[in-house]
Structure 1
Amino acid sequence: MTSFLIPAFLLLVLVLVLLLRPFIFPPKVEATSRRQMNAAIYREELDKLELERAAGSINDADYEIAHAEMRQRLFQDTNEEDDRSVMGSSKLTVISLCLFITVLSAGFYFFLGDATRIAEKNTQQPMTQDGVEKMVAQFAAKMEQDPTNLQGWVMLARSYRILGRNAEAAKAYERAGNFIDSDPQLLADYADVLASNANGSFAGKPLKLINQALKLDPNNLMALWLSGTASYAAGNYKAAVQTWERLAQQLPPGTEDARSIEASIADARAKGGLPSKAGINTKGVSGKIEIAVDMKSKVKSGDIVMVIARKPGERMPVAVLKTSVSEFPMSFSLTDALAMNPSSPLSGLSEASIEVRISKTGMAKPEVGDLISAPQIVKVGANNVRLVIDQVRQ
């Protein structure tokens, strides 16, 4: 705020100096008074009258009358207190003008300007995790005072979900009552929270909510994904493939989401022994992923398992499988459906370097703290590859 007010004050001073320069710096030559000006005018008129009488334009009688009238007007116009020009105005005028202009400009600025918002903006601090937690806590306290606000409970549930507090999110969704019964997205979100709280189990209420959401909207993306995941977890790979294929049809081709769902479909096909889609070469690499005992405590719910295939000696992946963490050992299958570039499929290699990485963020770039396995060079077509996660990326 100070950085703005100082230049503004200096600019105001400059404007006042330029505007009031005639008052501040009076002329060195004394200004002519009104009485002096009037006397000079009448003197000139008297001279003209004298010339007219000398030229014979007027007679002596008219001359005396005109001369008497001029003397009378001259006396009246010069018989008043001397009034000097503006150049000689008092200091009071200058002070009054300065105060008037300053108050007027300040009033316009604070009425129409942004001084208050600038000050507020400068006092604002970046939002922190503690700040967000405090806001959510205040919102929760407000909701306790207004428990009939069902929409508010939904907003609170979503806030808890963003913070990763799924237990509180589930309670908030429950208190939202029938507000969510007609909204397929809210039903799917509620089911996802309940399944997360049940360690990935969709049995009971989560599956009921998913089916209710799909009944309202058969193409809801979240509900389709959860339905396929529930079927996959139950070992019903055929149902998982059918559901996920409905989901894949709604995703833009070539996007990260489309590749991810295609990977999940390929994995379900491999585990269920189902025929692959036409046009996709089934030649690839499959096997199991294991984890060292001392690494198990480092794995958290929500971590992403990434199985990566590369051409030996190169850094660019040929195929990548992304899936959520489940119980170990877990199966994997890399095929051309997971190819990063359709023109460079995995089936086109004779050998591939295979490794597995558990990522906290799911980002393609390795990060410090990721759990990794040692790379293995295997024959493309091998189906008994064993990958062991036993290292932490430094």
Structure 2
Amino acid sequence: MSSAMMWGVFALMALLALGLATLPLWRRPRAVAEADRLTVYGRQLAELEMETKRGLLTPEAAQAARLEIERRILRLNETAVVPNAGGKGLLAGAAVTAVAGAFGLYLWLGHPELPDHPAEVAGAMELKGTAAGEPTLNALLDRLIAYLDTNPDAMEGWEHLRRAALSVGRGADYAAALERGVRTRPENVDLRVLYAESLIFMGQGQVSPAARLALTQADALDPSHPALRYYTGLALLQDNRPAEAEALWQKLLDEAPEGAEWRGQIAEKIAEAQAAQGKSSAASAIAALPADQQTQQIRGMVEGLAAKLEAAPDDAGGWLRLGRAWRVLGEPAKAQVALARGRAIAEKAGDKALMADFAAEAENLAKP
């Protein structure tokens, strides 16, 4: 098998996984406890942050606890996807790929001129088939992971692994392989950035303490790395430092070559940072008003949200925010209506985490 043919196979694998994800949901739904555990781990991380701020834990103990929780999150994937899983599992794979695409800037921001593998590498990755004469997707991925364990500098292989593994719900295996690669090649800044990216993906877009550590280590090797700067900006934005994030992304955009495909995505993040600054300014302006005018301004904003949701009613998270806002404004009847509409959308989508949020808000509303 030639090098080009081999990588073509892995590109096809990713496309095949995406195609399967579009099948109708005619198969029996499969309960996925991993989503519930992910919610629990997320709450544990939040509680850990509160305990750290209160001084109940030393920084060293807090960091160790964070890393342990994040390792458990990474291990969730071990039973998340099995052969012949139902349609929900396949659609989850599609969602995974969509999120990965949002963060998968490595190939563009890193080094697009990735070298080909030598012919002997392609031969080493030749697979025996299944009984039917066709290799399974997981077998192909396992062989690629094994190859990268001994050849961690094969960056094109990592890119193919990212696309294929994330598309079929094996993101944890991908992140674990990268962790091993970083240990083997600690001086490889590209691997460190890819590892940070994988942790951000596993955290549903949140730049976790482990991801921040990986970014810091990459920064020590090459602070000019474009993908590193992109994810550092994301961390700044999540730290409520939008002005710094905007400045970092703007510099990255200014230095980007004309016609670079990722310019549009950086521009979108700049706009997001600018919008965040606008919200902060609006909040400060409202806080400066007399109490009665503050209430009037806030009510106007809530009514504006209600109007938007009537025009686009499929936003379950929007209905949850509206319900909370009406509760705070002392409008329990309106809050109940908003929560009921949003909860119905969450139940239809099977979003257990959001359903739990609606249940918690309903409890708050029921309190005297």
TM above 0.5: no
Q: TM-score, normalised by structure 2?
A: 0.36
Q: TM-score, normalised by structure 1?
A: 0.34
Who wins on radius of gyration, i.e. which is larger?
Answer: 1
Q: Kindly indicate which of the two structures has a greater share of residues assigned to helix.
A: 2
